[in-house]
Amino acid sequence: MTTNKITVAVPKADGNTNPIIHKATVSAPTNIACIKYWGKADSHYNTPINDSLSLTLDQSDLRAVTSASASLAFDKDRLWLNGSEEVGAASSRRFRACVDGVRALATEKIDPDTKEVIVSKDDWKKMHVYIASYNTFPTAAGLASSAAGYAALVAALVELFGAKESYPGEFTAIARQGSGSACRSLYGGFVAWRAGGEKSDWSDSIAEQVADEAHWGEVRAVICVVSDAKKETSSTAGMSTSVATSELLAFRAKEVVSKRMKIIEEAIKAKDFEAFGKVTMMDSNQFHATCLDTYPPIFYMNDVSRSIVQLVHRYNDWAGEIRAAYTFDAGPNAVLYTLDKHVIELLALVLKYYPCESEDLMGDYVNNKDMVSKALAF
């Protein structure tokens, strides 16, 4: 997470420097799940029916940038998303859970020079907040904008209020109440969200890092933007209908996911791309099968998405090993996980079948070895 903490004194008309606006700006990347979260066990606490696991991407392409400000001068909480005010959003349960949850963990702000208390814990409670966020990638299109968005919101509020966790993972439990997938974006690398449920307040439904960014640095994500349109069925609404109607989803949560979590965690530890890729593709397919099994059915993938699935299988068959693994969230856009040594080959293949004339993606990649994700606009 990139952090930039600023405190701005705004002069009043009479020339005084009160009221102060306290401000923090944070950028959080998206994460794309290999073992999918789909279905809530408790909709109030926003907890899942099964564990899930994802990779947090780096900051290169897909991230949310959020500024959080607090001041006694603000007369209500407000939220702007991608430049437009979201009227009423500041009173939504998700937003309130994040703001009130982080503020409850606030510490007093001390002047580093005079050691005076500038803002007491009670002062923070008297202030309203202004939040301004923008995404560097399509919002609500199945590329986990809610994950990056609520992770950036919680991280910005943590900076603003100088909040401290009372137990490890507490911030992830707060982010999860904004959007479930957001809890995994607070950490880098490979991150698991443990469903929890032993504790009555669901404080054990938290994310934890399985392996950090450096552990398997050869893994790359190629993001194929099939459509940047806003999806018709939000993730929240889709999974609620699935829980209510899909027997396949109930079976998956009870019988399948825990086995897959073991397989993928072992594959990550052993850096075994064959096992990692296979379970990732199978889990994406099962998630979309539960969407089809939902009544009425939900179609997130389209014909282009399905042609990418076929292309990846043909590529892997040709190679005699798994070199690329697709996964699709709740939208038509493909994320292809691969290893650095196969990226050029994979990009060449994708660009052959889905030409993209406007960008020199391969040249770009060759010139920027640090890049771990690249958007391809078909």
Q: Which is nearer to ligand ADP, 41 or 118 (CB)?
A: 41
Q: Which is nearer to ligand ADP, 331 or 346 (CB)?
A: 331
Question: What dihedral do alpha carbons 334, 337, 339, 343 form, nearest 10°?
Answer: 0
Instruction: Tell me: does residue 180 bind ligand ADP (CB under 6 A).
Output: no
Contacts of 8 (CB under 8 A, 6+ apart): 20, 21, 23
Instruction: Tell me: does residue 235 bind Co ion (CB under 5 A).
Output: yes
Instruction: Tell me: does residue 144 bind ligand DP6 (CB under 6 A).
Output: yes
- 149 interacts with, out of Co ion, ligand ADP, ligand DP6, none, CB within 5 to 8 A per kind: ligand ADP
What distance in Å separates the CA atoms of residue 92 and residue 43, rounded to the nearest whole number? 14
Contacts of 92 (CB under 8 A, 6+ apart): none
Q: Which of 118, 128, 322, 348 is closest to 219 using CA atoms?
A: 322
What is the SS3 assignment for 267? helix
**How many chain residues bind ligand DP6 (CB under 6 A)?**
15
What distance in Å separates the CA atoms of residue 176 and residue 48, rounded to the nearest whole number? 10
What distance in Å separates the CA atoms of residue 325 and residue 22, rounded to the nearest whole number? 44
Contacts of 241 (CB under 8 A, 6+ apart): 294, 295, 296, 298
- 37 interacts with, out of Co ion, ligand DP6, ligand ADP, none, CB within 5 to 8 A per kind: ligand DP6
Please state the closest distance from residue 63 (CB atom) to ligand DP6, in A: 16
What distance in Å separates the CA atoms of residue 143 and residue 349, rounded to the nearest whole number? 22
Determine which residue in the list 47, 56, 71, 146 makes contact with ligand ADP, applying CB under 6 A.
146
CB atoms within 10 A of CB 144: 30
Site map (CB under 6 A) of ligand DP6, residues 170-189, x = contact = ---------xxx--------
Site map (CB under 5 A) of Co ion, residues 113-152, x = contact = ---------------------------------x------
List the interface residues with ligand ADP, window 317-376 (CB under 6 A). Answer: 329-331
Please state the closest distance from residue 151 (CB atom) to ligand ADP, in A: 9
Instruction: Tell me: does residue 48 bind ligand ADP (CB under 6 A).
Output: no
List the interface residues with ligand ADP, window 52-81 (CB under 6 A). Answer: 64, 81
What distance in Å separates the CA atoms of residue 38 and residue 51, rounded to the nearest whole number? 10
Inter-residue contact 74 to 81 (CB < 8 Å): no
Kindly report whether the peptide bond that precedes residue 296 is cis, defined as omega within 30 degrees of 0.
yes
Q: Which is nearer to ligand ADP, 38 or 216 (CB)?
A: 38
- 46 interacts with, out of ligand DP6, Co ion, ligand ADP, none, CB within 5 to 8 A per kind: ligand DP6
Site map (CB under 6 A) of ligand DP6, residues 27-66, x = contact = ------x--xxx-------x-----x--------------
Interface contacts to Co ion, rule CB under 5 A: 146, 235
Interface contacts to ligand DP6, rule CB under 6 A: 33, 36-38, 46, 52, 144, 146, 179-181, 235-236, 329-330
